[in-house]
Amino acid sequence: MNEELELLGIKMMNNEVPPGWTEEFGCGFLSIKLLSNWLGDLGQRMKMMRSWEANGTPHCFWFSGFFFPHAFLTGTKQNYARKHSCPIDRVAFEFELLTDKLEVNEITEKAPDGC
């Protein structure tokens, strides 16, 4: 066994995310969660993305489930700017959190603009 595999085994036995999973390959998401919770989160993120691909744009989004939320927000602004033929640098966000009023499964339609 080489040093790299030994470190991987030690991290997994300690319920820690191995550094190569998030840093070296750059394909995992950064988190301070334990490995067991990190893997559960990864499964939920994959489920969200597969559902989006199979069923189209969802009615609401699990924002903290995105790997890079800035890209999602920029894409949302671009879509709005194109739809309304206005410069993207003049587009700003307004937020209305519906979870104070509704449960996630009660949101049955998409926002007319934005997300």
Same domain, 28 and 78: no
DSSP state of 91: -
Q: pLDDT for 50-84, tens place per residue?
A: 999 999 988 888 888 888 889 999 999 999 999 99
> What's the total number of domains in the chain?
2
* Residue-number span of the structural domain to which 35 is assigned: 1-56
Same domain, 75 and 114: yes
What was the pLDDT predicted at 27?
Answer: 67
DSSP 9-72: HHHHHTT---HIIIIISS-SPP--S-HHHHHHHHHHHHHHHHHHHHH-S-SS--GGG-S-HHHH
What was the pLDDT predicted at 36?
Answer: 94
What was the pLDDT predicted at 13?
Answer: 94
Does 113 have pLDDT greater than 90?
no
**Residue 88 near residue 77 (C-beta atoms within 8 A):** yes
The predicted model scores a pTM of: 0.72
**Residue 59 near residue 110 (C-beta atoms within 8 A):** yes
Q: State how far the Cα of 27 lies from the Cα of 95, in Å rounded to an integer.
A: 30
Same domain, 13 and 50: yes
Same domain, 17 and 70: no
